[in-house]
Homo-oligomer: A and B are copies of this chain.
Amino acid sequence: MSPPADPATRNGSEGFSYSRQVKFYETDLAGVVHFSNYFRYMEEAEHALWQAAGLTVDRAGAELGYPRVSATFDYKRPLFFEDAFVILVRVHAQSKKTIQYTFTFTRGDTIIGAGSLTIASATRDFQSMRAVDVPPDVIPRLKAAAGQHDDA
């Protein structure tokens, strides 16, 4: 596990590591991170991976966007204010038109939880969200940035 000091580092073996610290406004009255924020954390890790791959999900004039098709998270242990934690991202080519990511959250040796995002490649006409093929270089570049040499 890479140390939390580094905001976004490539893991030695497999998967992209993104480090984060819990902000005050992400907690709720139960004293822990609100469950909805884990979805924001997953997206942050996704976009950090895109940046590491020299890509972005948003570029002025881009014809494509990447709406979410599904999102899941399983919560094991809570996160508290100022906790430093690490998200390990892995990329899966689910179909020609979608990308699936899986995420595991850890704080030191403690497993916080795990989740997934499935996104579609779609034309920017969001009224219809017409799915199109993911551009051919995207998944290889993301996998390379994540240090994934297999085809999992």
Contact = CB atoms under 8 A, between A and B. Distances in A.
Given A35-B71, A37-B36, A74-B69, A47 B24 contact: yes
B7 A78 contact: no
A97 to B, nearest CB: 14
Interface string A17-36: 00000011101111110111
A32 to B, nearest CB: 6
Interface string A60-104: 000001011111111101100110000000000000000000000
A129 B29 contact: no
Interface of A: 7, 23-25, 27-32, 34-37, 39-40, 43-44, 47, 51, 56-58, 65, 67-75, 77-78, 81-82, 126-127, 129
